[in-house]
Chain A
């Protein structure tokens, strides 16, 4: 496998990975005197599942926030789909085709699952305030189209039975799934998942892994994820970036990363077994 070819590569399971979608060049991010990210470069390719791992405080979430455009790095360049990206507003990021889920679930607790997912399609609704208020003409058509799309996602993630349930009443694992559904509703090209398996039991983790793979397979969505569960990361991802204290200490396929001595020392632990 030649990861560095400009037009992509083929994975072990036969998936075709395309050209670079997001290119991060020499990123440095500081909060006052603290350097959260120190001169990191890596890329994300079309159609791949890219994991960012590292011990607590390694700068993973900061990295994800840089990718999502929420943090603007002091140094370095962020290239998305061939354009250099400047500082952006969140809705501008969403329009570019980037959607995310959060480590601590950020859903509207009082709203139903359906309404929560519908918010994921807000930036696709174009009808005016007045016509939305009286739900007539373009607004009605739009809502029906968007609802149809949302129903496809509900079917895809198998959450039909909780469609009308307020999110606040759901168990944790299902909330995570609803959050994924909302992110998918935006039909993203790049999906960012911040610890999608955190706090889940084995069965929920298996379900979530299956859904992540299915999303990637069915919609061809490029996925970047942060995750602590090593088994999950190694099974799911095509390429892994390893961070420690804001530095990049490894980058490559799960196998390459697993055999990287620096990674073993820093993260997996030397005294393992």
Chain B
């Protein structure tokens, strides 16, 4: 393999990093995957061999430089190898969300003009074939390659191959095509495209973000140094491969630092697999941490009295002194001793159960995380930190250094990143990770990135006066004005609501209106458990959501949030005057959320227009029918009559309301 190191001193492409790692780490594990109940592992040398065989196989099938190779599947070594192999051939890997339905996939496949598609299994192959069969589908796809052979025997294989067979063909052609492949690898440099990732499309159609080797490698290098990542780290690759974070953690940083990427058996076994691996470096969106905390709390509710007492007693100590101990601050001997006992009896076993025993660095991002949730993990001694980033920045914009962690900030600019706040309060950045362009979309590129390389994040934020850290308030375009001109920041209030375990999702409305209202989704796990313990029978999500006692609980949460919102004079207008509990969970399949589970406000305003009207016309209940999409793509309707409740508001807002009446 050609070594680009000799030319510039450092590897300038992912394939070059692979060659470097093979030379440097040889027999150390590069990838692991649990299959048939056993962890299979591949050393760096074996990985290099597998990737090369695959790249040669791609050449046999006629992959050309500049082609796009779509990768659709769950986190598996073979899929990561496909992305590296594609780059070796001078092609551009394009990972796609595996849970996307065919229509969504059609757009991305068409827009990228992918010639090769790597599919994880039969399900993905079927979707790709469905896309090809669509009347207006661009017929660019020439080869389909699948990883899992199950169910594939009877398909038309004239333009379809199993990945293992492609590798075998590649190995057979090593002598014939080896020189060609080496030449293609040698042609890669810092500015050649490393990967193309599609944004989740909170607004409008997804855009293809082109990231170069420079973007990925510089960012990985800087941030790996920031957190002192070494070749000894273990990560669990479980987040969607189409998401930039997974690419940075499981490819960029893994390749740069030479650490081990572990792929779980499947999405459902992730928690068990995580326990077995015990990652040292871990990333999860707040949702995962929230879910885990909820399940721990539910299980403690069901535990015996002694265990419950022990847990409560030591968690109290942990909450008080745990974060301080983690930050290396002064803590008295007595507290340290108590914390030590707690570690022995509670924190240690709990961390072990959750799979956090070996964590050195943990990150959360994507959404705001509740202070209680954040502190819970830090109290246990888990070094959980927040970062702020986006696809266009190769993830990292800002992150929290060890020992300077706050639940309401997103930290200091990442190494190499410059930050500024625009006149409108929008956050701008410029960094080595800043994307090259939006694929085939110069207009959007120009409107996002200016001539000096500053990129608008689309988020409103400011630097905290006390800490100097960045604080994000909301999406800049979601921040609006109420009818009376006061600031409307829905996300700020929604996050406060979502910190309650009973509330899974909330949508706050009020832009241009006299007062704010909210639509709320209950968390079925938490509320269901509560119902079980209180002998409340329910037949469906809908019935539970409409239960008067559930309404009463949610109402108390809403009022508590109102009280806390009222404390901030700038945002006190955002208190919720009326709310309803939705009869269905907001779902990406119904278009109400993005695949990364961010609420699509415009869709909700349109789809639930009748509910919005009812929230503002003073009616106390509303009959509605909603279209839902089942997992197999069929559509159905659910009908419900929803109650609308008034909530108490505090401070000035209350006076206004009284005055209005």
Chain A residues in the interface with B (C-beta under 8 A): 14, 147-148, 151-152, 154-156, 158, 160-161, 163-164, 203, 206, 214, 217-218
Flag if A218 contacts B150 (CB, 8 Å). Answer: yes
| Inter-chain contacts of B269 with A (CB < 8 A) | 160-161
Inter-subunit contact B150/A160 (CB<8 Å): no
> Does B268 lie within 8 Å of A161, measured CB to CB?
yes
Query: For A160, what are the chain B residues with a Cβ–Cβ distance below 8 Å?
Result: 37, 265-266, 268-269
Minimal beta-carbon separation of B155 from chain A (angstroms): 12
Chain A residue with the shortest CB-CB distance to B632: A206
Q: Establish whether residues A217 and B151, one from each chain, have CB atoms under 8 Å apart when the complex forms.
A: yes
Q: How many A-B residue pairs have CB under 8 A?
A: 35
**A218:B151 contact, CB within 8 angstroms:** yes
B36–A148 contact, CB under 8 A? Answer: yes
A167 to B151, CA, bound (A): 28
Contact of B36 among A151, A158, A206 (CB under 8 A): A151
Interface residues of B in 261-288 (CB under 8 A from A): 265-266, 268-269, 272
Q: How far is the CA of A155 from the CA of B631 in the complex (A)?
A: 21
Listed by A's residue number, 15 A-B pairs whose Cβ atoms lie within 8 Å are A151-B37, A151-B38, A154-B37, A155-B36, A156-B150, A160-B266, A160-B268, A161-B265, A161-B268, A161-B269, A163-B37, A206-B632, A214-B150, A217-B151, A218-B151
Shortest CB-to-CB span from B52 to chain A, Å, is 28
Contact B36 A152 (CB under 8 A): yes
**Distance of A115 from chain B, by nearest CB (Å):** 13
Chain B nearest CB from A163 CB (Å) reads: 6
Rounded to whole angstroms, the CA-CA distance of A3 and B268 in the bound complex is 43
Residues of A within 8 A of B265 (CB): 160-161
Q: How far, in Å, is A154 (CB) from chain B's closest CB?
A: 7
Q: Which residue of B lies closest to A161 (CB)?
A: B268
Min CB–CB distance A189 → chain B (angstroms) = 19
The residue that B272 contacts in the complex, of A147, A148, A161, with Cβ under 8 A, is A161
Closest B residue to A164 by beta carbon equals B272
Within 8 A of A (CB), among B596-643: 630-632
- Contact pick for A158, options B38, B266, B630, B632, CB 8 Å: B266
Which A residues are in CB contact (< 8 Å) with B631? 203
Annotate B142-178 by CB proximity to A: 1 below 8 A, 0 otherwise: 0000000011011000000000000000000000000
Q: Cα distance A161–B154 when bound, in Å? A: 29
Q: Which residues of B contact A (CB under 8 A)?
A: 35-38, 150-151, 153-154, 265-266, 268-269, 272, 630-632
Q: Give chain B residues whose Cβ lies under 8 Å from the Cβ of A214.
A: 150-151
Instruction: Tell me the minimal C-beta distance from A1 to chain B in angstroms.
Output: 19
The residues of A that contact B38 with a CB separation of less than 8 Å are 151
Query: Inside 8 A of B35's CB, which chain A residues have their CB?
Result: 155
- Closest chain B residue to A147, Cβ basis: B37
List, in ascending order, chain B residues with CB within 8 A of A218's CB: 150-151
**Interface SS of chain A: helix, strand, loop or mixed?**
helix
Contacts of B268 in A (CB 8 A): 160-161
Of all A-B residue pairs in the complex, the 8 with the closest CB atoms, nearest first, are A161-B268, A151-B36, A161-B269, A160-B265, A151-B37, A160-B269, A160-B266, A155-B36
Chain B hits for A155, CB < 8 A: 35-36
A14: B residues at CB distance < 8 A = 154
Beta-carbon contact of A161 and B37 below 8 Å = no
- What would 11 more interface pairs be, CB under 8 Å, given A151-B36, A155-B35, A161-B268? A151-B38, A152-B36, A154-B37, A158-B266, A160-B266, A161-B266, A203-B631, A214-B151, A217-B153, A217-B154, A218-B150
- Report the bound CA distance from A164 to B276 in whole Å: 14
Q: List, in ascending order, chain B residues with CB within 8 A of A151's CB.
A: 36-38
Nearest-Cβ distance from residue A204 to partner chain B, whole angstroms: 12
Cα of A31 to Cα of B632 in the assembled complex, Å: 45
Q: How many angstroms from the CA of A214 to the CA of B266 in the assembled complex?
A: 19
Chain A residue numbers with a CB within 8 Å of B154 are 14, 217
Residues of chain B contacted by A164 (CB below 8 angstroms) = 272
A152 to chain B: closest residue by CB: B36
Could you tell me the distance between the alpha carbons of A132 and B272 in the complex, rounded to whole angstroms?
A: 29
Shortest distance from the beta carbon of B336 to any chain A beta carbon, whole Å: 37
> Whole-angstrom distance between the alpha carbons of A161 and B37 in the complex?
10
A112 to chain B, nearest CB (A): 12
Which residues of chain B have C-beta atoms less than 8 A from A217's C-beta?
151, 153-154
Q: Closest Cβ of chain A: how far from B333's Cβ, in Å?
A: 42
A27 and B224 CA atoms in complex are apart in Å by 75
* Chain A residues with CB below 8 A from B36, complex form: 148, 151-152, 154-155
Which residue, A154, A155, A161, has most C-beta atoms of chain B within 10 A?
A: A161
CB distance from A172 to the nearest CB of B (A): 16
CA distance A154 to B631 in the complex (A): 23
CB nearest to A15 among chain B residues: B154
Docked CA distance A217–B122 (Å): 14
- Chain B residues closer than 8 Å to A163, beta-carbon distance: 37
Closest to A158 in B: B266
A242 to B: closest C-beta gap in Å:
29
Cβ distance B69 to chain A, nearest Cβ, rounded Å: 27
Of A155, A163, A217, A218, the most chain B CB neighbours within 10 A belong to A155
How many whole Å from B299's CB to the nearest CB in chain A?
A: 13
Nearest chain A CB to B185 CB, angstrom units:
35
List residues of chain B with CB within 8 A of the CB of A206: 632
List residues of chain B with CB within 8 A of the CB of A156.
150
Chain B minimum-CB-distance residue to A13? B154
Quick one: closest A residue to B271, CB to CB?
A: A161
Task: Report the bound CA distance from A163 to B34 in whole Å.
Answer: 13
Q: Pick from B37, B153, B154, B272 the residue with the most CB of A within 10 Å.
A: B37
Q: How far is the CB of A232 from chain B (nearest CB, A)?
A: 15
How far does the Cβ of B151 sit from chain A's closest Cβ, in whole Å?
Answer: 6
Q: In the docked arrangement, what's the CA distance between A217 and B37, Å?
A: 24
Shortest B395–chain A CB gap in Å is: 29
- Roughly how many angstroms separate A14 CA and B268 CA in the complex, as a whole number? 34
User: In whole Å, how far is A213's beta carbon from the nearest beta carbon of chain B?
Assistant: 9
- Report chain B residues within 8 Å CB of A158: 266
Bound-state Cα–Cα, A163 to B271, Å: 13
List, in ascending order, chain A residues with CB within 8 A of B266's CB.
158, 160-161
Separation in Å of the A201 CB from the closest CB of chain B? Answer: 11
Taking CB atoms, residues of chain A closer than 8 Å to B632 are: 206
**Interchain CA distance A148-B630 in the complex, whole Å:** 35
Using Cβ atoms and an 8 Å threshold, which residues of chain B touch A152?
A: 36
Give A214 to B149 CA distance when docked, in angstroms: 13
